[in-house]
């Protein structure tokens, strides 16, 4: 651990969509950073990134890159995490991993600080950051679960392309321009880079995020289902998800149906619980057309909730509309929050 | 009634997004039309529309416009229908009304031919065409309801801007261009023309379609809920809806959760029922990334269904993804189908 509680932090995947936001968020939050090491693939190494009025040169990530690092934020894809996270841990770093590599590992805490910060303490070197669409949903639902219990979740998502990386954002931009000029274009990235077929995203909706599993659900849908249960410590909670990619650059939205364990709870009670919850901004005033939208949530760290209304048939059923910047609370900000928590509680690896 | 079973058809709102598609669909289907009268507001009168290799001049709609008309297709807004549909009926026409003006009137059949064609026979001059998002959902769910019973519907929609008319499509196009050029723009149409606030639709998602009601639901959501019950003759069926406008020009998509009355039904059984159903195209092969998308459905008359999968917790629960061209099956084609049905069964007004 660094002296005087100033730390050596590394970002792996520093040139990616999430990595860039991690660096910005580390600066915005003014974390006590002695040294910031920026790491990437060989291809992106050599680029320069501005941090706290200094230029930092991005280096190729190797096992030796983690010598002396206290906290390493990984967001460079699952295979890089599988390969290098153990090397970082071996060298004494706490890894906060934004990929799906370790999320369902029973020895790895999967953390949204507003929900289960205390789980961080049990880490054995790696702490996993959940999937973007999961984070904003559990952050919004946990205050309701604590107050009223939760017996069911059904979610349909409206997800931004930046969740699939800078390449996907570039594809949306280029396709949109081509469409408007009535020019031909060939989809090459979405819905899933490396999958067999690619479909247009401009002015379209693709009901596939990540690859299909044997059960007909996509991996993204299974992440939402399994990660929610793990984060909430609610293995038996029924969760259903349909995940859809849309022509939106930033911020995921979610149409969520829940059933709570109590009858006779009012919309106003749910609103007041959410208004008081950490990390949540209530934007819910239909009379004045106040509700969250992706564009309005962009660049903000909170999770925004609106359109809260009681189901017309099910007395314990409610509908909500949950929106958050997928690169911030959905990725970079949640990872930095975990880093802050590790620093504040001195939950470093005991060597 | 016209002699030799050739009819005098009128289209009210002939220059609008739906009116244009009605005229195209009448031509595509080669209906036995003796005379086609095209009507509009005073503002649009005088325009010329091509139909069966002839130019037809659009005339201002007045009560007298309906003299001698057998079937009048209305799609010029609720207030025009309220004002002129009774005038058309008084003059012996059967009105097929695409606005919400008469849909919930107990004396007016609300018809999706694949579901309740027989209801047309009971008309008293006016037959209502349901809301676009309702039509495609009930068309896809009716074969399942007939086979297995239906005890619950929860839908989240992904709706195209053309449902709000040509002005909304123009706004999406102009905003998108401005956004990409980093130019300023002022939203003026969406989410609801004439409502107090307007929000950007380009690269955004707006959880408001039509005006908010006292109960916190939008009118669009209440249309889906109430119209579904009426069309299916299922007043007690629990239906919940969240309706969202997206930067898509054409075709609505819907993420639908249903519970059926039987246990142990398989996905394959649902697929085979839908594959055999009229007006439905099954596109459901996740292994090969086959599922419906709005762009692919554009210009087609069918309702496309995919992503059918069993809920992981509820043994009688299933998820589906339903897509259709909102201007065709959602509006023009369903109206023309009703017209064909009136002609085929000679369900004209008995004077």
The pLDDT, as a whole number, for residue B349 is 79
B233, B252, B288, B345: which is the annotated catalytic residue? B252
- The span from the CA of A224 to the CA of A252, in Å, is 13
Tell the residue number behind the tokens 């990984």, with chain if given. A74
Supply the mean pLDDT for chain B: 96
Binding residue ranges of A for NADP(+): 15-18, 43-44, 162-163, 326
The pLDDT, as a whole number, for residue A2 is 45
Q: Which of B191, B238, B247 sits opposite A313 (nearest CB)?
A: B238
Residue A96 contacts residue A339 (beta carbons within 8 Å)? yes
Structural domains of chain B, ranges and CATH numbers in brackets: 3-129+331-345 (3.40.50.720), 134-326 (3.30.360.10)
Higher pLDDT among residues B234 and B349, named by residue? B234
Q: Does any CB of chain B come closer than 8 Å to the CB of residue A198?
A: no
Q: Which two tokens stand for residue B100?
A: 């919400």
Establish whether B76 is an annotated binding residue. no
Residues with Cβ < 8 Å from B56, sequence gap 6 or more? B36, B37, B38, B48, B49, B50
Supply the mean pLDDT for chain A: 96
The dihedrals phi and psi of B344, each to the nearest 5 degrees, come to -65, -40
Test the A interface: residue of B255, B315, B323 with most A CBs within 10 Å: B255
- E-strand ranges in A228-296 read 239-242, 252-260, 280-282
Residue B271's closest CA among B255, B253, B284?
B284
The pLDDT, as a whole number, for residue A5 is 87
Q: How many residue pairs bridge chain A and chain B with CB atoms within 8 Å of each other?
A: 172
- The span from the CA of B351 to the CA of B342, in Å, is 15
Per-residue pLDDT at B250 exceeds 50: yes
Q: Which two tokens stand for residue A178?
A: 């081509």
Per-residue pLDDT at B103 exceeds 80: yes
The pLDDT, as a whole number, for residue A311 is 98
* B contacts of A267 (beta carbons < 8 Å): 216
* A contacts of B180 (beta carbons < 8 Å): 173, 176-177
Q: pLDDT digit string (tens) for A225-262?
A: 999 999 999 999 999 999 999 999 999 999 999 999 99
Q: Which of B177, B253, B309 sits opposite A205 (nearest CB)?
A: B253
What is the Cα B333 distance to its own chain's centre?
8
Nearest chain A Cα to B258, which residue? A154
Supply the residues of A annotated as catalytic: 132, 252
Interchain proximity A207–B255, CB inside 8 Å:
yes
- The residue-averaged pLDDT of B292-310 equals 98
- The span from the CA of A37 to the CA of A204, in Å, is 40
- The residue-averaged pLDDT of B261-282 equals 98
Establish whether B245 is an annotated binding residue. yes
The pLDDT, as a whole number, for residue A78 is 94
Interchain proximity B255–A156, CB inside 8 Å:
yes
Residues with Cβ < 8 Å from A204, sequence gap 6 or more? A247, B248, B293, B294, B295
Residue B40 contacts residue B15 (beta carbons within 8 Å)? yes
- The span from the CA of B318 to the CA of B277, in Å, is 18
Residue A97 contacts residue A128 (beta carbons within 8 Å)? yes
The pLDDT, as a whole number, for residue A57 is 97
- Cα B258-B260-B264 angle, rounded to 5 deg: 115
The pLDDT, as a whole number, for residue A298 is 98
How far A186 CA sits from the closest chain B CA (Å)? 14
* A contacts of B282 (beta carbons < 8 Å): none
Residues with Cβ < 8 Å from A187, sequence gap 6 or more? A171, A175, A198, A199, A200, A201
Active site residue B132: yes
Tell the residue number behind the tokens 């946990």, with chain if given. A142
Residue B46 contacts residue B73 (beta carbons within 8 Å)? no
Q: Does any CB of chain A come closer than 8 Å to the CB of residue B242?
A: yes
The pLDDT, as a whole number, for residue A104 is 97
Nearest chain A Cα to B314, which residue? A238
Residues with Cβ < 8 Å from A14, sequence gap 6 or more? A20, A22, A23, A38, A39, A40, A44, A49, A58
Q: Which two tokens stand for residue A199?
A: 């479909």
- The span from the CA of A192 to the CA of A47, in Å, is 27
Establish whether B59 is an annotated binding residue. no
Handedness of CA A137, A142, A148, A152 (dihedral sign): positive
What residues does B128 pair with on adjacent strands?
B97, B110
Helical residues (DSSP H) of chain B, grouped into ranges: 17-28, 78-90, 113-116, 132-148, 166-180, 219-231, 267-275, 294-297, 333-345
Per-residue pLDDT at B237 exceeds 50: yes
A165-169 contacts at long range (C-beta below 8 A, 24 or more positions apart): A165/A16, A165/A17, A165/A193, A166/A16, A166/A17, A167/A193, A168/A193, A168/A201, A169/A17, A169/A249
The two beta strands, B71-74 and B252-260, are unpaired
The pLDDT, as a whole number, for residue A351 is 54
Burial A159-171 (b: 16+ CB within 10 A, else e): bbbbbbbbebbeb
Per-residue pLDDT at B183 exceeds 70: yes
Active site residue B243: no
Q: Which of A257, A295, A313 sits opposite B204 (nearest CB)?
A: A295
Nearest chain B Cα to A212, which residue? B286
Helical residues (DSSP H) of chain A, grouped into ranges: 17-28, 78-90, 113-116, 132-148, 166-180, 219-231, 267-275, 294-297, 333-345
The two beta strands, A317-324 and A303-310, are antiparallel
- The residue-averaged pLDDT of B125-130 equals 98
Which band of pLDDT confidence, cut at 50, 70 and 90, is reported for residue B2?
very low
- The span from the CA of B251 to the CA of B296, in Å, is 9
Q: Which of A176, A239, A255 sits opposite B244 (nearest CB)?
A: A255
B8, B123, B132, B243: which is the annotated catalytic residue? B132
- The span from the CA of A136 to the CA of A279, in Å, is 10
Which band of pLDDT confidence, cut at 50, 70 and 90, is reported for residue B289?
very high
Residues with Cβ < 8 Å from A31, sequence gap 6 or more? A7, A9, A336, A339, A340, A343
Interchain proximity A154–B154, CB inside 8 Å:
yes
Residues of chain B numbered 245-284 and touching chain A (CB < 8 Å): 246-249, 253, 255, 257, 267
Q: Which two tokens stand for residue B114?
A: 């694949």
ipTM over 0.90: yes
Q: Does any CB of chain B come closer than 8 Å to the CB of residue A240?
A: yes
Interchain proximity B294–A204, CB inside 8 Å:
yes
Is A154 in a helix, a strand, or coil? strand
- The span from the CA of A169 to the CA of A18, in Å, is 13
Q: Does any CB of chain B come closer than 8 Å to the CB of residue A195?
A: yes
Per-residue pLDDT at B1 exceeds 70: no
- The span from the CA of B259 to the CA of A313, in Å, is 14
Residue A22's closest CA among A92, A72, A89, A69?
A72
Establish whether B103 is an annotated binding residue. yes
- Cα A146-A148-A151 angle, rounded to 5 deg: 95
Task: List, for chain A, all residue ranges whose pLDDT scores fall below the cut of 70.
Answer: 1-4, 350-351
A326: left (phi over 0), alpha (psi -120 to 50) or beta: alpha
Q: How far is CA B14 from CA A334, B8, B41, B58, B98, in A?
A: 53, 15, 9, 7, 12
How far B179 CA sits from the closest chain A CA (Å)? 10
Please, what's the largest Cα pairwise distance for chain B?
61
């Amino acid at each position: 651990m660094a002296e005087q509680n100033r730390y050596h932090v590394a970002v792996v995947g520093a040139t990616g969509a999430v990595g860039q936001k991690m660096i910005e968020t580390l600066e915005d939050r003014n974390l006590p950073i002695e040294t910031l090491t920026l790491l990437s693939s060989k291809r992106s190494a050599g680029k320069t990134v501005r941090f706290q009025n200094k230029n930092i040169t991005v280096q190729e990530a190797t096992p030796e890159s983690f010598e002396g690092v206290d906290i390493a934020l990984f967001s460079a894809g699952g295979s890089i995490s599988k390969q290098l996270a153990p090397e970082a841990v071996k060298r004494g770093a706490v890894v906060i991993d934004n990929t799906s590599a370790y999320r369902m590992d029973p020895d790895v805490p999967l953390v949204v600080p507003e929900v289960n910060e205390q789980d961080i303490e049990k880490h054995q070197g790696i702490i996993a950051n959940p999937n973007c669409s999961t984070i904003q949903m559990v952050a919004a639902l946990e205050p309701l679960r604590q107050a009223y219990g939760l017996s069911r979740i059904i979610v349909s998502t409206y997800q931004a392309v930046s969740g699939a990386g800078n390449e996907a954002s570039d594809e949306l931009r280029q396709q949109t321009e081509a469409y408007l000029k009535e020019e031909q274009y060939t989809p090459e990235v979405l819905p899933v880079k490396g999958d067999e077929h690619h479909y247009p995203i401009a002015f379209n909706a693709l009901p596939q995020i990540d690859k299909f599993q044997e059960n007909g659900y996509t991996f993204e849908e299974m992440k939402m289902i399994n990660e929610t249960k793990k984060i909430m410590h609610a293995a038996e909670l029924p969760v259903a998800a349909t995940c859809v990619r849309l022509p939106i650059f930033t911020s995921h939205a979610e149409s969520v149906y829940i059933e709570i364990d109590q009858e006779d709870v009012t919309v106003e009670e749910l609103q007041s619980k959410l208004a008081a919850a950490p990390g949540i901004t209530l934007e819910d005033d239909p009379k004045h057309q106040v509700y969250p939208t992706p564009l309005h949530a962009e660049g903000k760290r909170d999770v925004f909730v609106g359109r809260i209304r009681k189901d017309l048939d099910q007395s314990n059923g409610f509908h909500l509309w949950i929106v958050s910047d997928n690169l911030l609370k959905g990725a970079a900000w949640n990872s930095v929050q975990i880093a802050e928590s590790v620093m504040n509680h001195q939950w470093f690896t005991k060597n």
